[in-house]
Structure 1
Amino acid sequence: MEAMLNNIFSTLGSYLSNYILIAALLGGGIWFTVSLGFIQVKGFGEGMRRTFGGMFKKGDKAGADGMSSFQALATAIAAQVGTGNIAGAATALAIGGPGAIFWMWIAAFLGMATIYAEAIMAQKYKQVGDDGEVTGGPVYYIRAAFSGAFGKVLAGIFAVLITLALGFMGNAVQSNSIAAAFNTAFGVPQWIMGAVLAVLALFVFLGGTGRIAKITELIVPIMAAFYILGSLVVIIFNIKEIPYALHAIVVGAFAPSSIVGGAAGATVKLALTKGVARGLFSNEAGMGSTPHAHAVAKVNHPVEQGFVAMIGVFIDTFVILNLTALVIITTHSIPSGKTGAELSQYAFSTLYGKGGDIFIAICMFFFAFSTILGWYFFGQANIKYLFGSKAVKIYSVIVAVCVFLGSLAEVELVWTMQDTFNSLMVIPNILALFALSGVIKQVHNDFFKDRKK
């Protein structure tokens, strides 16, 4: 039965990610890029100013009225920057070759416009829940986009899919990545690591929005700085290989077979599909996940958080994921035959030796644990929508149990189902964004008209 279900979900997930989602997410990215006047270029400086200026603002604590703009971004980045930045980029390189990174860049550039649209709709349609706390996300703007029974059903489907995909299955997958990495690097039994993770996670969950915001605000800059520094050391050590890496990425996007040392059997189609799919799943633009964090930001106008949301995609792909790719390509690790996290570990070990395993294990802990917090928060918003705030404590305990169980062993069916549900939840989110295109354009124009005045 398990093998049959795994085959069904694997086939469905592959079809969704390779065809439907690439068309939907790239189509959405192109549409919002053009209709919003290349906002990812026009608003980039504003986004950087608001993001890094917000890091140093003190006293704006998270509570029932939401989070600061930077805390909301930190929670979003906590979810975006996960094991996909270590394993996802490596998998794309192993299958699609260096050219896959070029298509990741294209997906991220277009995704910045999509996530801008998501953030401003999440802000516009956010609500106060029955517990008196500000909440928001796609379920609310889906209802705004489609009235009547259709909107209710579509919002309900999205809420169930994201809770299963991220809150339960996704967090089990994340804990498995941490436990496996620590077992390889330090010999720690996976069940012990799982128990530690479950206790830590439950402690944060039960502290509510304020504790989640405080922890992500602290963890995200530290984990980013640690990974950036560790990656730059390897890249600088192999600095003479950077021209080769850039050549391999650009040429490999259109002529993979001409790149010496590229992935065996890589084609333009593989480079494009793996690059776009991994890029979109890494930065989560258009998936409907990060709007839950951006909805609760305390800003004066929805567009202000839209600027900040774009920077999350930029950091995820153009900084963190790019560093992984450059480490792997400049160390000529693709021909090793490894894939996923093992390929990243191999690349780092060319300089650090056994320390490469330790470096990846520490990064996995930060990346995956912060993702657990972000994905829990996204699922929590939908649990409130479906069952009310009284169900949140039960949800917290179930997620902690999933974190523990996920550490014990990799269950292929769970991984496959999570990927499939991830893909499915994109559909109602993108449909709603297209239906609200006029509203998005109006909110966008209102901000710039007011600022001009």
Structure 2
Amino acid sequence: MSINDVLVAIDDFLWDTPFLALLIICGVVLVITSGGFIYSHFGHVVKTTFGSLFDKEERQASEGSISPFEAMCVAVGGCIGMGNMAGVAAAIASGGPGAVFWMWVWAFVGMTIKHAEVTLGCYYRSKDSQGKLYGGPTFYMEKGIVIEKGQKWGWILIIGFAVGMVLQFLGGSQAYNIAESLYETFGFDQIVFVLLYSAFLLYIIWKGVPRIAKVASRLVPFMCVLYLLGGIIMIVVNISAVPAMFASIFKCAFTSSAAAGGTVGYAVKTAISKGISRSMNSNEAGQGTSPMIHANANTIHPVRQGMWGAFEVFMDTIVVCTVTALSILSSGALSTGKTSMGLTIAAFDSVFGTAGSVFIAVICVLFGITTTAGWFVFYTTILHHVLRNNEALANKLETVLKICYPLPNIIIVLMIVLTGSGPDMFWTIVDISLVVPVFFNVIALIVLSGKYKELLKDYRARYLNEGVVNPDFKVFYEDQK
């Protein structure tokens, strides 16, 4: 049995029915707890996020923080990446068109899940001696479960989540997919590329969150608009195939397809697992990563910042991933037998010719660098939480982390290229490393759903005139001191 066979077996075991059921339970609990807030107040969500992009306050940061807009750009840059192009293509290739339906399903509940985790991340955040803000799952697990609820088993969640993030670090990030794209387009040596890419990545992360936020705020809006324009042109050109394409998405979500293969039950399960895993990998709802950057934001209320999290899921999956999926399915490229980035390139080539490959290559570099840089913030957040009582050591180890951060990318590319395993091994590794942090995070979200409900109630009263404001309610955990 090869290494790839072993990884596939582990992947199938982890993404089996029990784990999928846990994800669905988490989504249902939070949607019910919130009273469907995100959906009933979607107009308010759009107004306070997209509608405030030209608001001067949204672009202002206080000392020790970044602006809400910058936090959104770093978080969107961290989630909009190869998962939107290569990940969607890989899901369709292995799970069939039905995987797209299950991507939408997770995005729908994921808007509430991400709203909840960002809200809790901001509420339970901490400030170090220099005034810098830090927050995220490990913070709300300790303060919300261990301290407030007195549940010592919360440390299991903290340790488990931290270990999961380490596994994701070791699993690498976006470099392989970018290398694959440049190789497919220009024949560029993948190993040479990953070395150059790693050097550029080190330059961006060396100055920490401020530089990452600055790069993201400039690149993210531009790259999203550019990619969406290309995808929309693809769909318009193939508009005659759109009705049949939508029919196949809904039909294959509950029946077998040529891509998924096997029995109907196995095919549907594959469509569900691949759809949800790729959707989660792309929009990061449930991963617990985005709260780590949003906790740095200068926001008036945790629930308000949480709306940026919901908006990210909407933009990432409902908009960007959908454009990728429709571009691929309407082009007929699925019949080429290609997968991952090769399938996306084949789709764009069918309309734009060689220019399509060049376009995807450029977008890959932009998406990849913002994603990889954004994830650096997540790891430093956990580091500073673990060493919160020894800031000097935390700062030294952060420097070490900056130097070591690009190494997993290099190792993963070397392993895949030298063994000839191809993109399937990369996405299998991604799926495996994704399970652990998500498992512990969704349990914490379920346990803290009551606090999420309290924060929503307070926000409704303060800003939506729905109820009476409790003057004794503290908007942030630290205000209780």
> TM-score under structure 1 normalisation?
0.91
Q: Tell me, what secondary structure is at the counterpart of 1:170?
A: coil
Quick one: which amino acid aligns to residue 420 of structure 1? I
State the 1:308 CA deviation: 1.4
Structure 1 contact 163–382 (Cα < 8 Å) conserved: no
- % identity of equivalent residues: 32
Match of 2:405 in 1: 399
Answer with 150-159 or 423-432: which moved more: 150-159
SS in 1 for 2:172: helix
**CA distance in structure 2 between the aligned counterparts of 1:271 and 1:405, rounded to whole angstroms:** 30
Q: Report if the CA contact (8 A) 2:234-2:327 is conserved.
A: yes
Q: Distance in 2 between matches of 1:435 and 1:13?
A: 27
Are 2:163 and 1:163 equivalent residues in the alignment? no
1:55 aligns with 2:67: no
Say if 2:120 and 2:302, in contact at 8 Å, map to a contact too.
yes
Which residue of the other structure, out of 459, 464, 467, is the alignment partner of 1:447? 459
**Bigger Cα displacement from structure 2, 330-339 vs 263-272:** 263-272
C-alpha distance in 2 between matches for 1:163 and 1:262 = 33
1:72 aligns with 2:71: yes
Matches within 5 A, 1:338-357: 338-357=338-357
Indicate the RMSD between aligned Cα atoms, in angstroms.
Answer: 2.4
Structure-2 separation of matches of 1:262 and 1:152: 42
Q: In structure 2, list runs of 5 or more residues that go unmatched.
A: 388-393, 469-481
Matched with 2:35 is 37
Shift of 1:63: 6.9
CA contact (8 A) 1:137 1:292 kept: yes
Aligned pair 1:420/2:423, yes or no? no
Aligned to 1:92: 91
Shift of 1:72: 1.1
Matches within 5 A, 1:222-241: 222-241=222-241
Matched pairs, number: 445
Which 10-residue stretch deviates more, 10-19 or 87-96? Answer: 10-19
How far apart, CA to CA, are the structure 1 residues paired with 2:360 and 2:43?
32
Q: Which residue of 1 aligns with 2:395?
A: 389
TM-score of the aligned structures, taking structure 2 as reference length: 0.86
2: CA distance, partners of 1:170 / 1:404: 8
Q: Supply the AA of the counterpart residue of 1:74.
A: C
Q: CA deviation at 1:149?
A: 4.8
CA distance 1:149–1:77, shift in 2 (3 Å): same
Whether the 8 Å CA contact 2:242–2:330 is kept in 1: the answer is yes
* CA shift digits 1:83-124 (9 cap, x unpaired): 111122112222222222112111110111111110110011
CA distance in 2, matches of 1:227, 1:386: 38
CA distance in 2, matches of 1:230, 1:236: 10
Compared CA separation, residues 19 and 367, structure 1 to 2 (3 A): farther
Q: What is the rounded CA distance, in whole Å, between the counterparts of 2:163 and 2:410 in structure 1?
A: 22
Gaps of at least 5 residues in structure 1 are: none
Secondary structure of 2:49 counterpart: helix
Q: Which residue does the alignment assign to 1:27?
A: 25
- Equivalences for residues 13-412 of structure 1 within 5 A: 13-58=11-56, 60-62=59-61, 65-129=64-128, 131-143=130-142, 144-146=144-146, 147=150, 149-165=152-168, 167-171=169-173, 174-256=174-256, 265=262, 267-387=267-387, 388-410=394-416
Distance in 2 between the 1:187 and 1:336 partners?
20
Shift of 1:416: 4.5
Comparing 434-443 with 245-254, greater Cα deviation is found at: 245-254
Deviation at 1:40, TM superposition (A): 2.4
Range with greater deviation from structure 2 (147-156 or 120-129): 147-156
More displaced 10-residue stretch of structure 1: 357-366 or 409-418 = 409-418
Letter in 2 for 1:433: L
In structure 2, the CA distance between the partners of 1:332 and 1:279, relative to structure 1 (3 Å rule), is: same
